[in-house]
Amino acid sequence: MTAYSEFSVGEPIADTAAPDGPIESRWERRRFGVKLVNPANKRKMRIIVVGTGLAGGSAAATLAEAGYQVTSFCYQDSPRRAHSIAAQGGINAAKNYRNDGDSVQRLFYDTVKGGDFRAREANVHRLAEISVQIIDQCVAQGVPFAREYGGLLDNRSFGGVQVSRTFYAKGQTGQQLLLGAYQALERQIDAGRVEMHTRHEMLELVVVDGRARGVVVRDMVTGEIETHLADAVVLASGGYGNVFYLSTNAKGCNVTATWRAHRKGALFANPCFTQIHPTCIPVSGEHQSKLTLMSESLRNDGRIWVPAQAGDTRSPKDIPEDERDYFLERQYPAFGNLVPRDIASRAAKNVCDAGRGVGPSGLGVYLDFSEIIERTGRDAVAARYGNLFDIYERITGEDPYEVPMRIYPAVHYTMGGLWVDYDLQSTIPGLFVVGEANFSDHGANRLGASALMQGLADGYFVLPTTIGDYLATSRLEPVAADAPEVREARAQVTERIERLLAVDGTRTVDSFHRELGHIMWDHCGMERTEEGLRKALDLISELRREFWRSVKVPGSADTLNQSLEKAGRVADFLELGELMCLDALHRTESCGGHFRAESQADGEAERDDEHFSYVAAWEFTGAGEAPVLHKEDLVFDHVTPSQRSYK
């Protein structure tokens, strides 16, 4: 048997859907090029959408408005609770309402560069074009964006770019955008055009004659296994940051929907590209179940520091100025505390590794507001950040007006995901992937306020156009409810559930998840080395065997069983983690959120465009079996790749 790390390289893949020619008009030409579905035929076609976040909720509502029959699923008790709801900061759009020199071209450029030149130009340009329509759409739906006294929309700057293009609704932008999509979805449910299934989890994809034709889901209340068939399937199931156990993701976020599709033939692209956000509240103990983000906007006014001497345990107030190290300001005088997320995170890790971290665990740095409070007064700071200071106080019991906040980096977003072409179609015909679940637009690092933009661009505007082309050009015969492929998919689901319940071992699901998280964080986190990644591959494969030998899942399959739900998800994370480590091992360059210690110059990430200017799309060959790597070469015709510098 070949070792897992002995992967082979298969045929390269090409994005065959993207038109060529001038980038400014590619999307327009693609829209003209798509075949349309006759409205009378739309009513006879059914599309399944898995997930109800910004991408899935907006897609389901828009497809139903267009006349299709839609079946929608979410694991939460209501479509309004998808994790897009927790996004704080804002959503970017190239409106140039500030007259500060913004444009579609500039948003395109910033996003390609911010992604460290590992995203597809044509997709990113389309995203920038559509950004302006998203704001119009959301305002029309009643999203209460922040406004100025003249009644027009307010903007703020975000994520280190030089223009103010971020629209926001206090620190609850994700919530307000999601409620807009959710209400549009509920309107279609009421009109009978969307069949909504809450508390349902997709556990298998049904592929017939090489095309995605349905899903097998479990009703999480009754345990019933159901098959749903359709003409096309859309996955909008989010990212996989919970492979690290601790992350800013919701507890239920998981990789199962995309991983099941991957096992059925969809390629998984750039799995190692994960974003670690620098400003999260540190872990307080082994009981910790999740991490909470403190908005990036705090770095506009807070100063980050640690004691200059290792082992200095004095309270922060007793440490005089000249015994503090404002390490970002010292190392990056030009950008200071406002360096991009990946750089700020690594710098914090380095000072903590050197023994200068603060707090009970030593894994934290100070984010200090004393200077701004002294300069502008407590009330001015409260007006700007009061909400965030309250959240901090609630979680830590410390008052950030009096003592500096303690922060530490945490896993926040995954840029990788299922490979899709320009039409957002995966390598399985009829399977489309939108939002964080696909890999397409953010390259190796996502800029702040761009996730909401991508989710809604995909769901409101891109997918509803491109999926029509697939449906209009494919001859789809009805699938029988007892077709062999359907029976096989159902059998896979029931067998797996029976297997999980049958182990009846000695360890809880959470204990395995926690251990996997430690392995991933230590070896496939902020800094990766060949030695560490090889070790992680061994540890994960051993842990997976141990899981199937000694996991304990109480209860039965025919009732609400949260342990069983978690067990299935963790089993998939145990396979995904291995692929992430392999992807990180093979990519010997550093780029964006992927930092290989072996590839640096003067302590900064060093890209290797000669060898790695490609998307790594992996083909599944069996659990624990060496996968096959397919490369999609990235071509930069409009932006010239350069080495990022923030010094």
Active-site residues: which are they? 341
Among 396, 397, 399, 364, smallest CA distance to 385 is for 399
Task: Name the residue nearer to another protein (CB basis): 119 or 177.
Answer: 177
Piece of 225-233, 434-442, 558-566, 587-595 that binds another protein (CB under 8 A)? 558-566
- Work out which of 8, 25, 162, 288 binds another protein, going by CB under 8 A: 288
| C-beta neighbour count of 14 within 10 angstroms | 10
Residue 394 within binding range of another protein, rule CB under 8 A = yes
Task: Name the residue nearer to another protein (CB basis): 141 or 588.
Answer: 141
C-beta of 150: minimal distance to another protein in Å? Answer: 7
Task: Name the residue nearer to another protein (CB basis): 180 or 214.
Answer: 180
C-beta of 600: minimal distance to another protein in Å? Answer: 34
C-beta of 511: minimal distance to another protein in Å? Answer: 8
Task: Name the residue nearer to another protein (CB basis): 81 or 341.
Answer: 81
Q: Which residues have C-beta within 8 Å of that of residue 175, sequence separation ≥ 6?
A: 85, 86, 87, 169
Separation CA 235–CA 261 (nearest Å): 9
Residue 76 within binding range of another protein, rule CB under 8 A = yes
Angle between helical axes of 26-33 and 463-473 (0-180°, round to 10): 40
Under rule CB under 8 A, which residues in 528-557 are in contact with another protein? Answer: 552, 554-555
Residue 250 within binding range of another protein, rule CB under 8 A = yes
Residue 245 within binding range of another protein, rule CB under 8 A = no
Owner of token pair 């009096």: 402
Under rule CB under 8 A, which residues in 158-187 are in contact with another protein? Answer: 169-170, 172, 175-176, 179, 182-184, 186-187
Owner of token pair 């349309």: 36
Residue 311 within binding range of another protein, rule CB under 8 A = no
C-beta of 602: minimal distance to another protein in Å? Answer: 37
Task: Name the residue nearer to another protein (CB basis): 289 or 640.
Answer: 289
Under rule CB under 8 A, which residues in 91-120 are in contact with another protein? Answer: 95, 97
Q: Which residues have C-beta within 8 Å of that of residue 545, sequence separation ≥ 6?
A: none
- Work out which of 4, 68, 145, 470 binds another protein, going by CB under 8 A: 145
User: Between β-strands 628-633 and 600-601, what pairing exists: parallel, antiparallel or unpaired?
Assistant: unpaired
Under rule CB under 8 A, which residues in 611-640 are in contact with another protein? Answer: none
Under rule CB under 8 A, which residues in 314-373 are in contact with another protein? Answer: none
Separation CA 569–CA 577 (nearest Å): 12
Residue 397 within binding range of another protein, rule CB under 8 A = yes
Residue 142 within binding range of another protein, rule CB under 8 A = yes
Separation CA 574–CA 579 (nearest Å): 9
Binding residues with another protein: total (CB under 8 A):
81
| Contact criterion met (CB below 8 Å) for 344 and 328 | yes
- The 418-457 site mask, x for binding another protein (CB under 8 A), equals ----------------------------------------
Residue 78 within binding range of another protein, rule CB under 8 A = yes
Piece of 28-36, 188-196, 329-337, 601-609 that binds another protein (CB under 8 A)? 188-196
Give phi and psi for 329, each to the nearest 5. Answer: -65, -35
Task: Name the residue nearer to another protein (CB basis): 164 or 492.
Answer: 164
Cα separation values, 301 from 4, 69, 370, Å: 47, 49, 10
Piece of 155-163, 247-255, 315-323, 568-576 that binds another protein (CB under 8 A)? 247-255
Among 346, 370, 358, smallest CA distance to 396 is for 358
Maximum pairwise Cα distance, the chain? 75
Across 91-115, b (16+ Cβ under 10 Å) vs e yields bbbbbbbeeeebebbbbbbbbbbbb
- Work out which of 61, 298, 500, 581 binds another protein, going by CB under 8 A: 61
Separation CA 231–CA 267 (nearest Å): 21
One-letter amino acid of 496: R
- Work out which of 103, 164, 292, 370 binds another protein, going by CB under 8 A: 292
Under rule CB under 8 A, which residues in 216-235 are in contact with another protein? Answer: 221
Task: Name the residue nearer to another protein (CB basis): 67 or 624.
Answer: 67
Piece of 422-430, 484-492, 560-568, 617-625 that binds another protein (CB under 8 A)? 560-568
Separation CA 617–CA 633 (nearest Å): 11
Q: How far is CA 600 from the centre of its chain?
A: 26
One-letter amino acid of 375: R
| Contact criterion met (CB below 8 Å) for 235 and 112 | no
- Work out which of 252, 364, 517, 577 binds another protein, going by CB under 8 A: 252
| Contact criterion met (CB below 8 Å) for 116 and 644 | yes
Give phi and psi for 632, each to the nearest 5. Answer: -110, 110
Separation CA 137–CA 464 (nearest Å): 15
Task: Name the residue nearer to another protein (CB basis): 148 or 610.
Answer: 148
